[in-house]
Structure 1
Amino acid sequence: MTTMTFEEAVTKIVAARSFQDLAGTENGAGRAYRRWAKLIHPDTVGAQRRATATDAFAKLSALYERRGERREPWGSGDVAELFAEGDRLLKVPRSPADNDLMEAEATALRKLWADGDPRFRPYAPRLVETYIHEDAQRRRRWVNVLERQRGMGSLAEIKGDLGVREAAWIWRRLLIALGWAHRAGVIHGAVLPEHVLIHPGRRGLVLVDWCYAGHRPAAIVKAREDHYPPEVLHDRTAGSATDIYMATVLMTRLMGPRMPVSLRRFAAGCTYDAPRMRPQDAWALLGELDDIIGSQYRN
C-alpha cells in the first residue's frame, strides 16, 4: 500500500464494497487491515477528524469481519483466540474486558527486549506489533501480534511421567528463562504447563503467555489454581520466588513418582508457603540443580 493521507484513506474505505477492494494483492488480510487501521484510527487523529475517523474505522472493521474467507482459530489460550498468519500469530482476547491482560503482555515483552540480555531472547516470543480491533458492535479489542513458534508443543500435552534425564533439560531451560526475565525486572506470574513450549529434538524452550506478568497479577488461571503459591491466591502479589515456586510445582507434577528423593528435597526448598523462605535467584538455583542432577547420574 502506497502512503496516503487521512482523507484519501477515508475516501477509499467509504467507497469500498468489500474488504478485497482494500486488501488488493496485500499478503494477508490481517496485515492489510492493520495498515488501513493505522491510517484512520480515531485515537490517532485530532478532535475535528474524530467523528469521520470513527465512522471510517467502523466500516473498515465491518468489511474485515464480513470478508469471504472464514477464519478459524489456530488455537485457544486462557483468555484469547490465536489466529495464524504466516510466521505470525494474532492473539485476540475473547472479551474486551481482558484488554488489560493483552496490554500487560505487550509491556512485559517490550521490557524483556529492551532490558534483557539479547542472548536469551529465544526463551520468549517476539512481539511484532499491537493494534486495536473494533468489531461490528464497536467493541474494541487489544490484539498482540507475536512471532509464531513452529514445531513446538506445550508441557500440557505430555502424557505420562517424565524421567530424570527428560526433565533435567526442561527444568534447566525453564530456570534460564526465568533468570533472564527476573534480571530484566519482569515476573511471568503464570508458569503453567500450557505456557511452556518445548522442542524435544532441539531441546528448545519458549515461555509464552505473559498476560499475567507483573508484581500484582491482574488475574489468575482459575483452572490451574492449585499451581499457585499463597501470595498470589491471597494477596495478588508476585515476585521471583513466585515464578520459582510455580516452575517447581510444574516439574514435580510432570515427573510424578519417578522423581528421585534428592530432587524432592530440592523441590521442597523451593515451595515453602512464605516467599521469603524460597530461593529468589533462578540462575543461582540452576547451579544447585546441576549439582543434584550430576550426582544423581554418577550414582
Structure 2
Amino acid sequence: MVRVRSLTDPSPRFATVVYLFVGGTWLLASDAVVHAVAPTQTAATVLQTAKGWLFVGVSAAVIYALGRRRERRLERSNERLRDTAQQLQVLGRVFRHNVRNDMTVIKGYAELVREHVKDEADADRLRTVAATADDLIATSERLCVVNELDVGTDETVDVAALVRRECERLRETTPGITVETFLPDRAEVRGDDALRRAIRTAVECLLEQGSPTGGRRVSITVEVAGDEVVVAVTDDGPGIPENELEPVRCGEETALVHAAGVRIWLLKWLCNVYGGRVTFADGPTSGTVVSLRLPAVGGSHRRAGV
C-alpha cells in the first residue's frame, strides 16, 4: 500500500531521485541508440534534437500531472479547512451564548431552590449543580478566547509589562497567594494583549492541581534566551500529572489518553498562534515549570527582580 502511494503521490525527495535515475538512464541509453542507428552526423543531430524534445515533453507532462494532483489535494484541504473554520465559529457561538446563558439559568435556579431546601443532602446536591454550571461557564469562556485571537497581527507587545499587569490581577483575585517575579525592563514579542491570557492560563494550570490556592507560591520569570523570550511559571504545588500532559505532547487525545480539562490545550493553542511553543518540566524541588517560548523582537533586555 505504501509503495503504490509512493508512485502515485510521491514526495519531493522521492520524485527527485526517480527523475535523476530515469533521466540519467534515458540519456545514456538514447545516446547509445542514436550512435548505433544514425548513418550520418546530420541524422545523429536530428535524432538528438528529437529525443531531447521528447524528454522535455514527457517531463513537462509528468510535472503537470503531479502539480495538478497536488493542486486538487490542496483545494480539497482548503475546503476542509473552511468547513472546519465554519464549524469552530458555530461551536464558538454556541459556547458563547447558548451554553453560557443556559448554564447561568441553571445555576440561578439551583441557588434559588437551595435557599428553600431544608434537607442538607439536597442542599449539597444543589451546590454541586451550581458548581458544575460554574465550571461549564468557565470552560465556554476559555474556548471562546481562541475565536477572538488575531492570527495575522503584526503588532509587538512587551511581555514583561503583561506579566506585571497579570500579577496585579492575580494578587487581587486570589487571596493568600504569594507571587514572585523576575523581569527585564522590556521583552518584546510579536503579539497583542491576548498573550496575557496565555500567562494567566499557565498559572491556572498549576494552581488547579493539589490543594486550594490559599498559601500557594507562584514564581514568574521572563528572560531572553537567544531568539526567544521565555516566560517560565512555577509554583510549590504537586505539579501537573503526566496523564494531563501526554495528550498535548503527542498532539491528540484518545479514549485512553486524554486531558481532564481544556486549559493545557488552550495554552498550547495560544502559544502556537503567536509562533511560539510551550514546554513542561519538573520544578527544582516540586511542581511543574511551564515555559512559554515566544519569538523575540530585537532590543535590549536588562534583567531586574520585582
Same structural fold, with TM-score higher than 0.5 when normalized by the shorter chain: no
Q: How does the TM-score come out when normalised to structure 2?
A: 0.25
Larger radius of gyration: 2
Taking structure 1 as the reference length, the TM-score comes to 0.26
Higher helix share: 2
